[in-house]
Structures are given as C-alpha cells and as structure tokens.
Structure 1
C-alpha cells in the first residue's frame, strides 16, 4: 500500500543543512498495522508526513497503492490524500466552533458530497467510535479521549484505505490510550492499513511490525 525507496529529506537554510531522513526503504503491505518508534527528533513525524503526501522528499520514490506519485501536481496529491488517506494527530485538530458531527464531515466537503450523504457517513463513523450520543456537542464539551475518538471518526469518514496516526495516544492516560488503540485494531481487522508513530513500547508491541528510527535512519 505504501512503498518508499531510497527516500531522503534534507532541510536547508542559508547557513545550515539538516538531514532529517537518510535512505529510508519501506514497504507497508495492505492490511498491515505498523508502528514507528525512535527518540525525539529522529524523523518519525517527518517520515509519516512524507508517507501521507503532506511533505515532499528531497530524494527517492514514493508509491501509494501501486501508484508512483513523483509526477503528481498539488491538486492531484490533494485528491489522492482525500480519497485514500486518513490522518489522526496527537493534538486532535478539531474546530471548536463546529459541532462534533460537523467536524467529522469536513473531509467530505472536498468531495462535493451531498449534505444527506455527509450526514449519513459522519453518523456511521461516530457510531464506530462510540460517540453517536455526542454528535451535537462541541469539542470544548468533550474529554481528551472523546476528542481523539472524534478525530478518528473524521479520519475514517471517507472510508480511506490507509490511516496515518501521529502519537494518537500521546495526550491520553493509559486506560484511554488502550481504548483508542482498540478502536484502531478494530479498524485494522476490518481491512484498513494503519501506520502509527508512537513512543509507547506496549502500544507498539500490539501492532504487526515495528520500524525503529535513529538520527533519520532505519535501525535494522
């Protein structure tokens, strides 16, 4: 589903050059649940952003679902992200002025879906994460765990083939973290491919495969 070949990422300023990723080669298969671990600043989030087409590599090849994306324009990349990828972030990124239901519908706005279809899909996604009774609430009325479940519902509302999760349990206590991981495992059991950045060894051990990074390189 996601293939990276000889990927490098270099950040440059007028006075310094930083190698964030060094010769990364990965092949995430359909239906896998993969975790990425490593010390702070090792390139985990940079790698996830490149896998999610939110950032471009300085060098190397990226394939999503067998399609090489190096020649894609910004509009084509945005369409591919919207159709195939769902994103979950540590800090939720919910819009406080919108209800839970409206937050979950956001990805569907870019598909020009009808209001009826948006409501049906958003309601279905919220039911999957156990928040059908909170649809009319606003983010400020929710706990951290509930906000993350809304974020997961937003990630899955378009029925993506791949979910990329950046520290999805990082702001939660262990009990709520386990609950969020259980939701991700259920999605994976239903066929969704998941790549998760985590700092938690216990969480990583519950996934199919662990990728370790150190100073921007894979630890083999």
Structure 2
C-alpha cells in the first residue's frame, strides 16, 4: 500500500545541513493500523508528510498502491493525494468562518462532484463521527474533541484508502483521546489503512504495529 525505499530527507541552509530522515525502509500493508513513535525532533512528522506526498524526500523512492510517485507530474500527484489520502492534523486546521458542514466539504471541491453530492457525503462523514447534530455550528462553538472529530470527518469525506494522522489526540484529554482513537479503529475495521504519529504509548499499543524513530533513523 505504502512503500518507502532508502528514503532520506536533508534540510539545508547556507551554513547548516540537517539529516531529518536517514535511510528509511518500510512498508505499510493494506488494512494495517500503524503507529509511529519517537522523541521530539526525531523525524516523525517529516516521515508522515513524505508518506502523504506533502513533502519530497532528498533521495529514495516512494510507492503508493504499487506506483512510484516520482513519476507523477504535479497535477497527477495532487489528484493522487486528493483521491487516495486523508489527513488529520493535531491543530485541526479548520476554517473558523465556515460551518462544520462546509469545512468537511472542502476536499470535495477539487473533485468533479455536484453541490448536492458534496453535501450528502459531508453529512454522511459527520454522522460517522457522531456530529450530525453540529453540522450548522462553527468551529469556535465546538470543544477540542468535537473539532478533532470534524477534522476526521473532513479526512474521510472523500472515502480515501489511506488516512494519515499527526498526533490526532495530542491536544485532547485522555477520555476524549480514547474516543478519537476508537473512531480511528472503527475506520480501520471498515477498511481504511491508517498511519498515526503519536507520543502516547497506550494509544500506540492499540494499533497493529509500532515504528520507532530516533534521530531520523528507524529503530528495529
């Protein structure tokens, strides 16, 4: 499903070179729920961004569903991200001036769908995360846990095969964090492949497999 071969990421300035990822080789199989752990600054988010095609490796190869992504032109790469991948961020990234329903619809604006189709899919996604009674609310009217559920609904509205979650419970208390992880587990049971960055050992233990990073290197 996702395959990284000899992936490295180097950040360079005029005076400093930082090796963020060092020779990463890993495969995430279809239907897996994988967690990524490691100390702050070890490259977790960088790895997730590369897996999600939001950033490019300095060297190495990435395959998504058997296709080498470096062969894609920018337009095809954007289409692949929009159709195959859903993203959940720690900071929610909701637009405060838009209603919950409108926020969830955003990924569908880049698809060839009607306004009615977008609305129906957004409503279905919000029902899956238990927010059908908050569709007309605005982000500032929601709790942190509710905002994260909106973010999950936005991630799944396009029915992606892969969900990438960067610290999805990091800003939440333990009770709400458990609720969010239960939603992710249900999405995984329904067929989604999930990769989650987390700092929480208890959350990681509820996934199928743990990948550990230290100083940009995968720890066996």
Same-fold call, TM > 0.5? yes
Q: Deviations over 1:140-171 (max 9, x none)?
A: 00000000000000000000000000000000
**Who is 2:40 aligned against?**
40
CA distance in 2, matches of 1:37, 1:77: 27
- Separation of aligned partners in 1, 2:128 and 2:197: 22
- Distance (Å, rounded) in 2 between the aligned partners of 1:104 and 1:150: 7
CA RMSD of aligned residues (A): 0.4
Listed as ranges, the matches of 1:112-131 within 5 Å are 112-131=112-131
For the residues of structure 1 that align with 2:67 and 2:142, how far apart are their CA atoms?
39
Partner of 1:199: 199
Deviation at 1:178, TM superposition (A): 0.1
Q: Distance in 2 between the 1:7 and 1:19 partners?
A: 11
Aligned to 2:169, what secondary structure does the other structure show?
Answer: coil
Whole-Å Cα distance in 2 between the matches of residues 15 and 214 of structure 1?
Answer: 24
TM-score of the aligned structures, taking structure 1 as reference length:
0.99
Q: Deviations over 1:50-95 (max 9, x none)?
A: 0000000000010001111112122111100000000000000000
Q: Report how many aligned residue pairs link the two structures.
A: 220
Using the alignment, how far apart are the partners of 2:112 and 2:155 within structure 1? 17
SS in 2 for 1:108: helix
CA distance in 1 between counterparts of 2:155 and 2:42 reads: 25
Aligned-partner Cα distance in 1 for 2:117–2:94 = 21
Deviation at 1:203, TM superposition (A): 0.1
Corresponding position of 2:73 = 73
Cα distance in 2 between the residues matched to 1:113 and 1:198: 34
- Deviation larger for 72-81 or 183-192: 72-81
Where do 5+ consecutive residues of structure 1 fail to align? none
Q: 1:169 maps to what in 2?
A: 169
Q: Matched residues in 2 for 1:139 and 1:158: separation? A: 21
Aligned counterparts of 1:99 and 1:112: Cα–Cα separation in 2 = 22
Per the TM alignment, residue 112 of structure 1 is displaced from its structure 2 partner at its CA by 3.0
Gaps of 5+ in 2: none
Equivalence for 1:28: 28
Displacement of 1:129 after TM fit?
Answer: 0.1
Q: Distance in 1 between matches of 2:150 and 2:112?
A: 21
